[in-house]
Amino acid sequence: MTIKDTPQEWEIRATETPFVGNKTSVRTDDVVMPDGSVVHRDYQVHPGSVAVLALDEEDRVLLINQYRHPVRQKLWEIPAGLLDVPGENPLHAAQRELYEEAHVKAEDWRVLTDIYTTPGGCDEAIRIFLARDLSEAEGERFEAEHEETDMEHARVPVGELVRRILAGDLHNNCLVVGVLSLVAARGGDGLDALRPAAAPWPARPFAS
């Protein structure tokens, strides 16, 4: 048995979209089960996202603190954003988000990990990049709006983040998965063995 996620699509008898929002929508599919029964499956349709674990020369991760209304909390997170343009190169989107949210650029980019956030109820796919060799971006700072106007920034050592994740102090999925993946990669084949930034991403195919 090979432990690897594989594409598969069960028969859909009917589908409708009862809600269409600004960036996402809700879809209802009538799906044929292996026993022949048909069930309704409601899920959020999402364009996909990218996130950036930016690691500086002092082994600190760049964090942002942002209000998240659905959970009624201000969360510490890593820079992230939507794939606004269909087929957009995820590396370009990640570089844009790092600039807009932190006014930082990076010279070394790798794919850290790819995840589905909540595959039981949403088709959102996220690619988390590792960015190193950081420096301040050139030009004017991006003008923030909405929740981002209240955003705070910090740089926190990797070891402290691991402790706070395991203590239940930090909850953002990209931060948790990114930091623990970083530690796992270091304990395995090393960061230079990570996939290149342009590695294929079947969940969200893109042009080179």
The residue among 58, 73, 23 whose CA lies nearest residue 158 is 58
Q: Is 80 exceeded by the pLDDT of residue 141?
A: no
pLDDT digits (tens, 9 = 90+) for 90-139: 999 999 999 999 999 999 999 999 999 999 999 999 999 999 999 999 87
Active-site residue, selected from the candidate residues 58, 147, 148, 160 = 148
Mean confidence (pLDDT) of the chain: 94
SS3 4: coil
Query: Does residue 9 have an active-site annotation?
Result: no
Q: Which domains does the chain have, with CATH numbers?
A: 12-45 (no CATH), 49-196 (3.90.79.10)
Residues 6+ positions from 86 with CB-CB distance below 8 Å? 47
Q: Which residue has the tokens 């991760």?
A: 61
User: Which pTM was predicted?
Assistant: 0.93
DSSP secondary structure string, 69-127?
Answer: GGGTEEEEE--EEE--STT--HHHHHHHHHHHHH-EEEEEEEEEEEEES-TTTB--EEE
SS3 content of the chain, % helix, strand, coil (to 5): 25, 40, 35
pLDDT digits (tens, 9 = 90+) for 163-182: 999 999 999 999 999 999 99
